[in-house]
């Protein structure tokens, strides 16, 4: 199952149908979402370990987790309408056609193809909003709001757009209140503010008051989610100062939850960040150049592994390219040799659609990485999303 290729949703749902997926209790599933990083906006793994064919990128894990969470909610509510059609109708109901980035998608006639495009668009933060110093944080941090909106949609389709907008506004007020009350703000706090601001789609000119925000949070999953976001906002090197403790105690009282919920939420965020500090973008001390290199390395390695059979075939038919690639692992190529290998590799990439990234502006910067991973070529299936028809 390849979430970066057409047909991934149909293939994923085909895999899920063979699991005990729908029998998982809601609390247990939500905890699994936290452990996967979905609730924290940092998708470290796939929820329930359903997908294991190969290592996915964070973007692909995010797509998979979002789709699986929608499907979990769908199965719990058990509506008559088909899953794909109901999810598309939900996104249409909360979308402002005049300003939405979904506007150019809804003409797609295939439900599966349309939903794939919607999910792809939805997981990303608007790059125009984010400053250049922050542009390596790509994944939307408030996707669980979409899930809560879908849950409401399946129960009652009326005023769903207002519900989603009000919920985002309430979360914005509560989370920003935590950060603003901090005596000293760290780089973590500044990054988190940018991440949340970039994730909010219904931006209001003024924040709600705290009391108005609290009045919106009523459902059990809403309460768990807002508490986790507050603990995420409070987390700075595992130190929760007196102001933050006071805020959490007040939040516990206002939401009417037991103290164990707060304790568990604090423990969960501490454990997650301890285990995955190097994998969460806004916790890492890497600079932008290092982040770009690391992310690019993962992308190139993934592309090579997924297309290895086709690459081996194409390279074997281009003896000069194969020779130069072999030489590049032993010595520096001359300028003339580098131009030759660039030209020949681009010709090869044109025959493999998945490698179109190398033909984009700046794609040549990835060629040294491609050459680096050549010795690691491994066999893999080329069409990851094909579903064999059963008789």
Q: Please, what is the average pLDDT of the chain?
A: 76
User: Is 70 within the bounds of a domain?
Assistant: yes
- 294 and 277 co-located in one domain: no
Mean pLDDT of 356-375: 60
Q: Please give the residue range of the domain that contains residue 186.
A: 8-283
- Please tell me whether residues 278 and 292 are part of one structural domain: no
> 247 and 231 in contact (C-beta within 8 Å)?
no
Q: Is residue 163 part of a domain?
A: yes
The confidence band for 109, taking pLDDT boundaries of 50, 70 and 90, is low
Tell whether the model's pLDDT for residue 189 goes beyond 50: yes
Tell me, what's the pLDDT at 357? 60
pLDDT of res. 231: 86
Which of 257, 283, 309 finishes a domain?
283
Q: Which of 283, 314, 338 is the last residue of a domain?
A: 283
Res. 261: pLDDT tops 70: yes
**195-204, 236-245, 359-368, 379-388: lowest mean pLDDT where?**
379-388
The first and second tokens of residue 54, run together, are 């190969």
Q: How many domains does the chain have?
A: 2
In a domain, 384, yes or no: no
Confidence at residue 80, expressed as pLDDT on a 0 to 100 scale: 86
pLDDT of residue 238: 63
**The model scores a pTM over 0.85:** no
**pLDDT tens digits along 209-254:** 989 999 999 999 999 999 999 888 887 656 666 777 788 888 999 9
- Span 302-331, average pLDDT: 73
End-to-end CA, the chain:
22
Is 49 in the same domain as 175?
A: yes
Phi and psi at residue 259, to the nearest 5°: -60, -30
C-alpha dihedral over 69, 72, 77, 82, to 10 degrees?
90
Q: Using CA of residue 195, residue 127, residue 32, residue 144, what is the dihedral sign?
A: positive
Q: In angstroms, rounded to a whole number, what is the distance separating the alpha carbons of residues 119 and 1?
A: 16
Cα separation of 5 and 16, whole Å? 18
Per the domain annotation, does 345 fall within a domain? Answer: yes
| CA separation for the pair 225, 197 (Å, rounded) | 17
Q: Out of 234, 253, 283, pick the residue that ends a domain.
A: 283
The tens digit of pLDDT for each residue in 334-351 reads 878 777 877 777 777 777
Residues 204 and 276 in one domain: yes
Do 180 and 271 reside in the same domain of the chain? yes
């Amino acid at each position: 199952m390849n979430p970066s290729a057409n047909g991934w949703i149909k293939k994923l749902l085909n895999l899920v149908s063979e699991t005990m997926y729908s029998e998982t209790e809601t609390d247990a599933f939500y905890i699994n979402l936290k452990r996967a990083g979905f609730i924290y906006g940092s998708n470290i793994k796939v929820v329930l370990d359903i997908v294991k064919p190969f290592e996915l990128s964070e973007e692909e894990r995010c797509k998979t987790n979002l789709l699986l969470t929608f499907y979990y909610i769908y199965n719990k509510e058990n509506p008559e309408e088909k899953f794909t059609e109901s999810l598309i109708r939900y996104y249409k109901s909360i979308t402002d056609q005049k300003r939405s980035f979904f506007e150019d998608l809804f003409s797609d006639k295939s439900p599966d193809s349309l939903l794939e495009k919607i999910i792809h668009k939805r997981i990303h933060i608007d790059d125009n909003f984010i400053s250049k110093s922050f542009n390596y944080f790509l994944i939307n941090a408030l996707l669980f709001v979409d899930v809560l909106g879908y849950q409401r949609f399946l129960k009652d389709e009326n005023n769903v757009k207002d519900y989603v907008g009000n919920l985002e506004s309430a979360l914005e007020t509560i989370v920003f209140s935590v950060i603003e009350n901090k005596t000293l703000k760290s780089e973590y706090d500044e990054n988190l503010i940018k991440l949340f601001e970039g994730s909010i789609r219904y931006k209001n000119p003024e924040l709600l008051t705290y009391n108005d925000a609290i009045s919106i949070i009523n459902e059990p999953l809403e309460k768990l989610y807002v508490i986790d976001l507050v603990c995420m906002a409070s987390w700075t090197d595992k130190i929760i100062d007196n102001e933050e403790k006071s805020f959490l105690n007040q939040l516990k009282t206002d939401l009417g939850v037991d103290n164990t919920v707060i304790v568990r939420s604090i423990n969960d965020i501490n454990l997650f960040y301890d285990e995955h500090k190097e994998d969460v973008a806004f916790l890492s001390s890497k600079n932008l150049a290092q982040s770009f290199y690391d992310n690019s390395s993962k992308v190139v390695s993934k592309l090579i592994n997924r297309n290895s059979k086709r690459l081996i075939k194409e390279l074997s038919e281009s003896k000069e390219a194969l020779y130069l690639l072999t030489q590049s692992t032993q010595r520096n190529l001359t300028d003339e040799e580098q131009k030759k290998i660039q030209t020949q590799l681009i010709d090869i990439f044109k025959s493999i659609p998945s490698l179109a990234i190398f033909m984009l502006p700046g794609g040549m910067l990835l060629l040294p990485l491609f050459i680096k991973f050549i010795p690691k070529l491994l066999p893999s299936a080329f069409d990851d999303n094909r579903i064999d028809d059963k008789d």
